[in-house]
Chains A and B, each alone.
Chain A
Amino acid sequence: AQSVTQPDIHITVSEGASLELRCNYSYGATPYLFWYVQSPGQGLQLLLKYFSGDTLVQGIKGFEAEFKRSQSSFNLRKPSVHWSDAAEYFCAVGARSNYQLIWGAGTKLIIKP
């Protein structure tokens, strides 16, 4: 069955520290891969996406993600977090043949001052 796993429900990081949010997927073929962020009381904003090519993709707000086919992973990273990064982060995958997205459960990022 197709699924997306974000194993960490909450992550707490000190401001200025590095961040890695994990995302693993189970899919029949290489899907399109996305990371979205939802700030408190807001809708979802696309951070970055992977379609093909370079497996390290750069996104907005200083985020990057690396697609590792052998591990079926698409982990999100940021070298130094800011208090404004406190939000919920969702990983999503989609088939190359249709429009639907499969969503992870989300990881809530808490920033310690």
Chain B
Amino acid sequence: SAVISQKPSRDICQRGTSLTIQCQVDSQVTMMFWYRQQPGQSLTLIATANQGSEATYESGFVIDKFPISRPNLTFSTLTVSNMSPEDSSIYLCSSIDLGGRAPNEQFFGPGTRLTVL
């Protein structure tokens, strides 16, 4: 299975600023995803990061707030822009393992714990 790392692991930011989260996979993967997990909640898919094209955003998430890059098959970034305390969450990167038998068998990074003051 793919091994995924994320940087930073945690951060405390001031409102109005932006933070870019990096996600690195140790092998080439077809699909990468970004999730938000608000305190005590389940996972909510923000977007699918597409290599070579714009990300596909889920309802309620927009590119201006959460710009995403995917320059190659092993790397993606998520930026949380103009942050407010409501953005305080864990942000998780995941990927689809090409070796998995199911197209939606996802592997996750350790997450980035963001606190906005």
Contacts and interface: CB of A to CB of B under 8 A. Distances in A.
B102 A49 contact: yes
Contacts, number: 55
A20 to B, nearest CB: 20
In the complex, which range does the number of interface residues on chain B fall in?
A: 20 to 34
Given A41-B113, A100-B45, A103-B43, A46 B104 contact: no
B110 A43 contact: yes
A105 B42 CA distance: 5
Given A43-B92, A44-B92, A106-B42, A101 B108 contact: no
A36 B110 CA distance: 13
B101 A51 contact: yes
Interface string A58-90: 000000000000000000000000000000001
A99 B103 contact: yes
Interface residues of A, number: 23
B49 interface: no
A34 B97 CA distance: 14
Given A99-B96, A103-B43, A34 B105 contact: yes
Interface of A: 32, 34, 36, 41-46, 49, 51, 90, 94-96, 98-101, 103-106
